[in-house]
A and B are shown apart, each in its own frame.
Chain A
Amino acid sequence: MKINLTKITTYTIIIFIIGLFFIGLNKNNIYDTKYLIGKKIDSFNLNSLTSEKKISNLDLEKNKFTLINFWASWCGPCKDEHKYLLELKNQHNIKILGINFKDKKNNALDFLSTLGNPYYLIAKDKKGKSSVEFGIYGIPESILINSDLKILKKFVGPLNSSDVKEILKFTK
């Protein structure tokens, strides 16, 4: 029997693609961040926005809890959540690491000087690549981790007052 290679390849590719679509459809967890919880964050090494210093995962091990917040001066919703970040700044158990996403340094600093600075460290991610590695889709997003660097919760979109309450519950 003659085997038609074109035919077989075409069918295989089509079935493979459609199969993946079916699996992808059933997963349906694209914005569902439940499965991230309990996982350790990957190691990272980023430049600081304000100094020559490097910021890495080792810095975060010293904190009881760290909220990693992804933000930019050009992002409207980031302004909305800013007051909640300032509120969290006053809690002694938690430190906030800001990751400045695809932003200009001057704009970012202006933003903080106008609205206040809730961050204990600010890293810059000029190309947005590192943020993607964190599993970030868009900004603002925030990840709450403990001193073992395990993810306790991920917040997609701007934080609100009930998110703050939830964070406080974790950090008590």
Chain B
Amino acid sequence: MADANSGWSRTLLWGAVTAILYLGVFAYADDVIRFARTTTDACVVGAGAEAVYYSKPTPEACAEKGGTMVQGNWLLVFLPILIAFAISYVHGAFTSNFWDSVGLRAASKKK
């Protein structure tokens, strides 16, 4: 019984951390998109959720669209890698504990 309880406690703990990470990504979804789209120079038309990103921009074409030129930063490419790693690790631990707590386990012997 104590084992089952500690299993669920672990599951809830990993679940809470997973939820926080996901909430973080989606609360800042506009920034997440902006970072993804500006690893190279871009022309941004509009703002927030409505922003449209053009790649390979020229100042003239960008001005014609009423957009703003943004200088690219290639280091931003590491951001999705770090976030994907963090979420994958935490969420993986959560789901593994979840199925264990629910009682779903692999068969002891393959047929």
Co-complex (A, B): no
